[in-house]
Structure formats: structure tokens, C-alpha cells
Chain A
Amino acid sequence: GAGVSQTPSNKVTEKGKYVELRCDPISGHTALYWYRQSLGQGPEFLIYFQGTGAADDSGLPNDRFFAVRPEGSVSTLKIQRTERGDSAVYLCASSPGTSVWDTQYFGPGTRLTVL
């Protein structure tokens, strides 16, 4: 079956611009996670959705970052007034959502470059 998909695969933007990154989770998965991965580092948690609601957004670095999941499926990560430090690979993962021990399946990521 289809895995987690993310679009675009690459995004280049200028400092100060607004960007949206999209995640399509595995069908039927109610839990959705966003992580950010800087070069040479492990992924860092940003936000977790259970259904339509953000169950934990403690990883969002500041109020320029926002994410939505209005229908409990596709999620969009929004970054306002981008900064060069926002450059990273943004990963999305989904899981069935029945337990915290459910395996998280990752998408290929969106590589964001802020010039």
C-alpha cells in the first residue's frame, strides 16, 4: 500500500517568505507527527496530531510555525517569515494512533532551503 507522502520534495524560498509543506499520511492512520532534521542530526519533534487536534505542539520552536490537520488526514506545516535557520529537512510520520507504542512510518521529507 501507499506510504506517507510529502510535497514538495524540495522547496527553495527567500528569507521572510511564507511556506507550506504538505503531508499525506497512510490511509487510516489517526496519529500524525512532524519532525525537523538538520544536517548530521537526528530528527527533532515539532508537533503531534491525534485526529484533527494537535495533541502536543511543544516542539514548535516559535510562533512562526503552525500546523493544521482540518479533516484528520492531510496535514500542512506552515512557516511564516522564514529565516535561514529554518533550512532543514521536514519529516512527517504517521501511525495507527491506538497506542504510543505504534510504529511511526516516515515520509521522504521536504528539504527546505531558505536563502
Chain B
Amino acid sequence: GESVGLHLPTLSVQEGDNSIINCAYSNSASDYFIWYKQESGKGPQFIIDIRSNMDKRQGQRVTVLLNKTVKHLSLQIAATQPGDSAVYFCARLGGYGGSQGNLIFGKGTKLSVKP
């Protein structure tokens, strides 16, 4: 079946360093990807999204890169802060070519920021 997965389950970085969280997907028809941040005891919080007609999109301290050739996307967090400590999920829209509104999530990467 379709899946969205992550390369690494945990990532530990020093405060102030840049963080890179990776995600691979299997459905070549996927055309919309979203990154969510989930802190302990809370629901997922939208960070940034990207459509398949883009290779890169930037937000505040975050950048998402999409490589459709190898079906890979990454989330880069600049100058990582303790408040960035959380589990990060990549997700895509369900259905063929993102035709359905439900989200399909990967397992998540836990980011720990050392002070």
C-alpha cells in the first residue's frame, strides 16, 4: 500500500545548529506534502507544506525540499532552539494524486535539542 516513512526515528542536535529531518514516500502520484510538529501531549501542529510543482519552499526558520526523482523530502530547521524539541511528521494527501482530503502520516522523527 501507499506509505510515507522516515529514515531516522530520533535526531539529537545542539542548540543553534541546523536540523535536517528526512522523509521518503512511495507513491509517485503524491502531489502535496505537509510537515507537522507534535509536542508531548498535544495535537500535531502545521509547520509548512509543499506541492509537487515546487522543489523548495521556505518559512520562518524552516525550509522544505522536495526531490521527486528519488521521492524524498526533507525539513530543515535553522538555528534549532529548545522549543523545537518535538516529534516531526511528514504527511501526504490520500488517494491517487492527492485526490482525497485525509492525510497519510509517516511514523515521525523525534528531535531533541541539547542546550
Identify the A interface with B (CB < 8 A): 4, 31, 33, 35, 40-45, 48, 55-56, 59, 91, 93, 95, 100-109
Q: For B94, what are the chain A residues with a Cβ–Cβ distance below 8 Å? A: 45
Shortest distance between the CB of A25 and any CB in chain B (Å): 13
Question: Nearest residue in B to A4 (C-beta to C-beta)?
Answer: B43
Beyond A40-B107, A42-B91, A103-B49, whether A95 also contacts B43 by CB under 8 A is: no
Identify the B interface with A (CB < 8 A): 32, 34, 36, 41-46, 49, 51, 89, 91, 93-94, 98-108
In the bound complex, do residue A33 and residue B44 qualify as a contact, i.e. CB atoms below 8 Å apart? no
A60 to B99, CA, bound (A): 19
Shortest distance between the CB of B6 and any CB in chain A (Å): 9
A109 to B41, CA, bound (A): 8
Shortest distance between the CB of B5 and any CB in chain A (Å): 9
Beyond A42-B105, A42-B106, A45-B94, whether A105 also contacts B99 by CB under 8 A is: no
Shortest distance between the CB of A38 and any CB in chain B (Å): 10
A103 to B99, CA, bound (A): 15
In the bound complex, do residue B101 and residue A31 qualify as a contact, i.e. CB atoms below 8 Å apart? yes
